[in-house]
């Protein structure tokens, strides 16, 4: 920020008084110079987070003065965002399915398109009571927690390969009042004993696996590539390696007629449909997101072929 006027905001010797509106204007201009999209929105989100008020309330408090301590704290988070660290990580929280989730760089930032995956499962289960759902790759818990919140009669088992990740997911379950509905298990779907560890049977298996290929990962925007966990995004292969593993392992976990739901990447619909058919699934359906991209593929088990336990 050398040479930029925003430096004066953090100068302890300055005699200038700084209103919220003054700070926001300077912060917006600064973020704009750093190539941050929607700089004013980002500046306001950071400000409301710092002051622990709703963003709309900033407009009622524009004349309020910020003291040096507040400006220093604001500078810290503003500088993080200026380096293109995702806003959700800077804030330490995000929203998904109208629910609030704690977030750390250990987990993928939930995307709006993943809400389609949750919505289709909610529609599939409807008012059926006692259904059991397995969520493979819990992450922040956004899928499992959302399902539990909108399907109070359903029990969820959520698995991940990291204790740190599972701890965060469990916190989010408690935060949203569904801790009693979800069992969290440390497990890796690639391990031979996965089926024994998670202990079915289940009615539904859902997964949003790492589906970015190695080649595509290199082309991702810096905010994603440099900050989000690679292992949650990329399979270091062609982007399709997790789908047959999960499809085959799920066969051994299903009750008769169980349904498998996948989130997929752009252009992966046909390959994933073929993987499901090969593993013994039928009634395959595909759902597109708001951008017209085929984003969710699901099918129900019709024959227990090609089982790998």
Domain 97-301 CATH class label: alpha beta
Residue 4, C-beta contacts closer than 8 angstroms, at least 6 positions apart: 30, 33
pLDDT per residue as tens digits for the range 149-178: 999 999 999 999 999 999 999 999 999 999
Q: Do domains 5-83 and 97-301 have the same CATH topology?
A: no
Distance (Å, whole) CA 213 – CA 219: 10
In the chain, what percentage of residues exceed pLDDT 70? 93
C-beta separation of 294 from 287 below 8 A:
yes
pLDDT at 303: 67
> What is the predicted pLDDT for the residue at 198?
97
**Exposed/middle/buried for 234, CB within 10 Å: 0-12, 13-18, 19+?**
buried
Q: Which pLDDT value is given to residue 128?
A: 85
pLDDT band at 14 (very low <50, low <70, confident <90, very high): low
Model pLDDT, residue 260 = 98
Give the model's pLDDT for residue 12: 45
pLDDT at 4: 44
Is the pLDDT confidence value at 11 over 70?
no
**CA–CA gap between residue 231 and residue 36 (Å, rounded):** 26
Q: Rounded distance, CA 220 to CA 222, Å?
A: 6
**Average pLDDT over all residues of the chain:** 93
pLDDT for position 9: 52
pTM summary value: 0.91
| pLDDT top residue among 120 and 14 | 120
Q: Residue 261's beta-bridge partner residues?
A: 206, 298
**CA–CA gap between residue 59 and residue 21 (Å, rounded):** 9
pLDDT of residue 13 exceeding 50: no
Residues 180-233 have pLDDT tens digits of 999 999 999 999 999 999 998 999 999 999 999 999 999 999 999 999 999 999
Give the CATH number of domain 5-83.
1.10.8.10
- By the 8 A CB rule, do 199 and 60 touch? no
Tokens of 100: 């609030």
Please give the average per-residue pLDDT across 53-80, as a whole number.
Answer: 95
**What residues does each domain of the chain span?**
5-83, 97-301
| pLDDT for 3 beyond 90 | no
Contacts of 115 (CB under 8 A, 6+ apart): 96, 97, 146
Residue 17 has a pLDDT of 84
Instruction: Convert the pLDDT of each residue in 275-303 to its tens digit.
Output: 999 999 999 999 999 999 999 999 999 96
**pLDDT of the residue at 276:** 98
Listed in sequence order, the DSSP H helices in the chain are 20-33, 39-51, 68-82, 87-91, 114-125, 142-150, 163-175, 194-198, 214-217, 222-225, 230-233, 242-251, 269-279
Residue 305 CA to residue 250 CA, distance in Å, equals 11
d(CA 91, CA 8): 24
Contact in structure between 157 and 185 (CB atoms under 8 Å) = yes
């Amino acid at each position: 920020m050398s040479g930029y006027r925003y430096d004066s905001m953090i100068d302890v010797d300055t005699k200038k008084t700084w209103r919220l509106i003054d700070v926001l204007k300077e912060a917006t201009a600064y973020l704009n110079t750093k190539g941050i999209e929607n700089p004013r929105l980002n500046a306001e989100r950071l400000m409301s987070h710092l002051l622990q008020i709703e963003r709309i309330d900033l407009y009622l408090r524009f004349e309020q003065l910020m003291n040096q301590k507040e400006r220093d704290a604001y500078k810290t988070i503003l500088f993080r965002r200026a380096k293109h660290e995702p806003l959700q990580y800077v804030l330490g929280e995000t929203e998904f399915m109208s629910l609030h989730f704690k977030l750390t760089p250990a987990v993928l930032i939930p995307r709006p398109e993943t809400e389609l995956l949750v919505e289709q499962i909610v529609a599939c289960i409807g008012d059926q009571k006692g259904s059991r759902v397995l969520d493979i790759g819990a992450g922040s818990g956004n899928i499992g927690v959302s399902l539990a919140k909108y399907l109070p009669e359903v029990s969820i088992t959520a698995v991940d390969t990291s204790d740190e990740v599972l701890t965060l997911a469990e916190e989010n379950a408690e935060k949203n009042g569904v801790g009693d509905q979800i069992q969290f298990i440390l497990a890796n779907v690639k391990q031979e004993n996965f089926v024994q560890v998670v202990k079915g049977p289940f009615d539904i298996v859902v997964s949003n696996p790492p589906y970015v290929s190695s080649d595509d990962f290199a082309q991702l925007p810096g905010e994603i590539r440099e900050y989000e966990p690679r292992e949650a995004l990329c399979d270091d292969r062609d982007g399709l390696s997790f789908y047959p593993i999960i499809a085959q392992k799920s066969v051994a976990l299903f009750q008769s007629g169980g349904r498998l739901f996948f989130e997929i990447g752009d252009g992966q619909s046909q390959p994933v449909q073929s993987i499901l058919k090969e593993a013994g699934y039928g009634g395959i359906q595909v759902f597109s997101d708001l951008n017209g991209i085929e984003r969710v593929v699901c099918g129900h088990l019709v024959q227990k072929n090609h089982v790998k336990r």
